[in-house]
Amino acid sequence: MSELPLIAVTDSATCPRPLAEQIERLAKLTKLRPQAVILRAKSLDKAAYRTLALQAQQSCEAAGIPLILHSDWQLASELGIKKLHLPLALLRQLPTCECAHFTWLSTSVHSVEEAIEGADVIDILRIQLERQQKGLFPSPREYARIFGINENRLKLAKPDVTVLHPGPMNRGLEISWEVGYCDNAAIRTEVQNGVAVRMALLFLTLTGGKHIENVD
C-alpha cells in the first residue's frame, strides 16, 4: 500500500519565519520533504492573500513543491494553480463548472456527520483492531458512538445513497446491523465482485497473462 502524501500547512501564528524561507527549508528536507504546501492564512484579506499567494507560487516553483491554495478558488483559477483546499461549506458552494479546472480538490471535516451529509456514496472500512496500538483506540462502544455509521447518521446522506464495505464487517462497531443490511447497502455485491477480481488477478499472475484455452 502506498504511503499517504505528506502535506505542509502554513501557519504564521506558530511559524513567524518569512514564507519564502519556510518553503526553502522544506525543499531541503529528504525523508520528510512534503509533496505539497497548503497556503493557509485565514487572517489575511483577499488582497493580502493574493500578494502572499504570488510569493508562495514563485517559491514553490523554485523548490519543486506543488502549491495548494486555501479557500479562494477564483484566485487559484486566475493564477493557474490546479490544486485547491476548501472548507466544507465553500466546497459545497463551488460551481460544478469550476471543478474541472482543478486536478486536486480537498476539504476537511470535523465530525462523521459533516462527512456524510449529502453524500452519494459512503464507503466504510473494517476497523483492524489487531493493528491498533494501545492508547490510540477507544473502547468499541465509544468508537461506535463517535464514528460508527448507524441509521440516524445514514439519514444525513442522500436518500439513494449507496453504502459500501469490503468486508468482513464488524457489525455494531464501524457499521450497525441495520445499515449493513439496509436496502441502500451494496456490500454483498461488492464482496462477491471482490472475490471474482482476486481470482482473476491470481489466474493472470500464475499464467503470466497468457491465454490458456483448457484449464483442468
Choose between 14 and 94: higher pLDDT.
94
- List, in sequence order, the alpha helices (H) in the chain: 19-27, 46-63, 73-79, 88-93, 96-99, 112-116, 140-147, 151-154, 177-180, 187-207
Residue 216 has pLDDT above 60, yes or no: no
d(CA 170, CA 133): 18
Is the entire prediction scored with pTM above 0.75?
no
Of 51, 50, 52, nearest to 10 by C-alpha is: 52
DSSP reduced 3-state for 92: helix
- Tell me how many degrees the CA angle 150-182-190 measures, rounded to the nearest 5: 100
Domains and CATH numbers, the chain: 7-108 (3.20.20.70), 117-207 (3.40.50.1370)
Do 20 and 55 touch, CB atoms closer than 8 A?
yes
% of the chain at pLDDT higher than 70: 94
Between 148 and 130, the more confident residue is: 148
pLDDT at 18: 83
**pLDDT-derived band at 197, boundaries 50, 70, 90:** very high
Peptide bond into 166 cis (omega under 30): no
Residue with cell 488477478: 201
Average pLDDT over residues 108-118: 92
For 57-69, the pLDDT digits (tens) are: 998 998 889 999 9
Give the mean model confidence (pLDDT) for residues 14-26: 80
Of 45-59, 84-98, 121-135, give the lowest mean pLDDT range.
Answer: 121-135
CA–CA gap between residue 49 and residue 9 (Å, rounded): 15
Mean pLDDT of the chain: 88
Residue 101 scores a pLDDT above 80: yes
135 pLDDT band (50/70/90 cuts)? low
